[in-house]
Amino acid sequence: MVDIATRVHNHKWKIDPIVRSLIDTDFYKLLMCQSVFRNRADTQVTFSLINRSTHVPLAKMIDEGELREQLDHVRSLSLSRGESTWMRGNMFYGKRQMFRPDFMEWFEALRLPPYHLERRGDQYELTFEGSWPEVMLWEIPALSILMELRGRAVLDTMGKFELQILYARAMTKLWEKIERLRGLEDLRISDFGTRRRHSFLWQDWCVQAMIEGLGDKFVGTSNCLIAMRDDLEAVGTNAHELPMVYSALAEDDAALARAPYDVLADWHEEHSGNLRIILPDTYGTAGFLRNAPDWLAGWTGIRIDSGDPATGAETAINWWKSRGEDPRDKLVIFSDGLDVAKIEELHQQFAGRIKVSFGWGTLLTNDFRGLVPGDALAPFSLVCKAQSANGRPTVKLSDNPEKAMGPASEIARYKRVFEVGEQDRMAVEV
């Protein structure tokens, strides 16, 4: 087992680069990448990093040279032979050859495209431009690099034993959460914490602790490298970038209204079973479900990623009932800002009524809250999103206006097209 505190103490980034593999990323990125590669490979996109926690002055904390080194290192990575074999030969969601030969050939030859980095006041402006299937792969490494470099800036000031105690406390904290989760009957939970993790080594420790502590209740990790190394299920389905880009490309309001369903129609062709999970909140869950075609009600489940999760799940249950589906056959995946108390609450409210699964992210892999003075290691809200597609701005509304993004005029247009009314504001912490 890795002695994380010592490695951190001694760390040389060449030994412990923040991102060590092209598959040190979320599984759904690879699934979506293949889908984009197949259906929209020529789309030109811009992705940008956005620090929603403006009180964290990233450019003051992180040296630009170090940031460039880490980003350059990611550009030097290519798929290793073992990684390629795993992607080509492993069974994902019960299916072999999930990744088709043409995609794998392209991926094997891939290097990530250039990045644009500029300091703007106390923040960095970090953007990626190019073809969608290439640029989209920057999201997860960019986020984990920024999050970890900010952590390293704090850790660098600490002594060897302070570090040992820091990790001792963080380990104890996670273990106490796991002991609580162990009490939930029929729990199904997975690691969704790659993007805002404390570090790779720490995420790996957290995953191994979940394996020992939860046994069968722990069903997998979204991190492909960890899934490969630890012989775990790689899990994840799809994300907002698909409807965001499809919508930006829509020629008129009618095409815009159809776009989120076009995404899922493409997905429907490619995937079945537990990969047929609706992500309904990009432009408001209520309207999305109201106007959804009937074939979508036949999908396996839904992922709730913004808004009040219990409300979202009740909305889904009512929708399934209204479409003649039995909610007990349906899967609801909760994945937004989870921690143990919320997991317990949702589990209690929904177990037995629907199939429930949890994608536990930042507060699994980066709960260093309260462990250093000034809470300087607390995770914060950093995202990397599609900003434009073929020159047109993208828009996201979600079920929480705090998470909305895009030009004001376009937000207004999307709200009209998608019939989005008043929304409840919820603080976004991670």
Residues that bind its own copies (CB under 8 A): 1-3, 5-6, 9, 159-162, 164-165, 167-169, 171-172, 175, 208-209, 212-213
Question: Nearer to its own copies by C-beta: 171 or 351?
Answer: 171
CB of 146 to its own copies, least distance (A): 28
CB of 179 to its own copies, least distance (A): 9
Closest CA to 383 of 161, 108, 35, 126: 126
Question: Nearer to its own copies by C-beta: 161 or 295?
Answer: 161
CB of 159 to its own copies, least distance (A): 5
CB 410 within 8 A of CB 392: no
CB of 195 to its own copies, least distance (A): 24
Question: Nearer to its own copies by C-beta: 64 or 212?
Answer: 212
Question: Nearer to its own copies by C-beta: 212 or 375?
Answer: 212
Q: Which residue has the tokens 């399934």?
A: 320
CB of 211 to its own copies, least distance (A): 8
Residue 217 to residue 428: CA distance in whole angstroms = 28
CB of 116 to its own copies, least distance (A): 40
Question: Nearer to its own copies by C-beta: 214 or 404?
Answer: 214
Question: Nearer to its own copies by C-beta: 100 or 169?
Answer: 169
CB of 172 to its own copies, least distance (A): 5
CB of 168 to its own copies, least distance (A): 4
Residue 400 to residue 425: CA distance in whole angstroms = 5
Give the pairing of strands 218-221 and 189-191: parallel
Question: What Rg, from alpha-carbon coordinates, does the chain have?
Answer: 21
Residue 315 to residue 318: CA distance in whole angstroms = 5
Q: Which residue has the tokens 């963080």?
A: 170
Question: Nearer to its own copies by C-beta: 9 or 38?
Answer: 9
Dihedral, 219, 222, 226, 229 alpha carbons, nearest 10: 60
Neighbouring C-beta atoms of residue 94, cutoff 10 Å: 11
Tokens of 410: 């376009």
Residue 335 to residue 344: CA distance in whole angstroms = 14
CB 45 within 8 A of CB 129: yes
**Residue 413: φ, ψ to 5°:** -65, -45
* E strand residue ranges, 43-155: 44-51, 115-120, 123-131
Question: Nearer to its own copies by C-beta: 167 or 418?
Answer: 167
